[in-house]
Amino acid sequence: MNGIHDLGGMHGLGPVVREENEPVFHEEWERRVFAVLNLTMAAGQYNVDELRHAIERMAPARYLESPYYEHWLHAAEDLLDAKGVVTQEELAQRAAEIARRSSAEPLRTDEPPRGAAASRRARDAGRGRSK
């Protein structure tokens, strides 16, 4: 498709901004998205070409504005809904439940730690982001 993703040769997008000593992930949710995408692909829920095409179908303005791992998140939600594995309705309901729970508790952006990697992630999660 002649989509917004096909960027080669476009003008007007600004300078290339490089971050010194950039961390592998900037926020905890990016780690989770990276892992969930790879694990759902490993489990055969969709393939890499379907993933790329789902990203290409994002709303063009959103594609340009959103942080990179939001593209992956969008694709996972879109494909899992289309295949009936996890529906939009389930996701909306679960997100609302989590939001309700966390508003009744002290503000928390992370899942409770599950072992050493998780507590390190929780510690690192406070770092800034570049986008």
Interacting positions 20-39 with another protein (CB under 8 A): 20-22, 24-29, 31-36, 38-39
**Contact (CB, 8 A) for 110 and 122:** yes
Exactly one of 114, 122, 126, 128 binds another protein (CB under 8 A); that residue is 114
At 48, list the tokens.
């890499």
Residues of this chain, 46-85, that bind another protein according to CB under 8 A? 47, 49-50, 52-53, 55-56, 64, 67-70, 73-74, 76-78, 80-81, 85
Q: Is 120 left (phi over 0), alpha (psi -120 to 50) or beta?
A: alpha
- Minimum Å distance from CB 97 to another protein? 8
**Contact (CB, 8 A) for 7 and 13:** yes
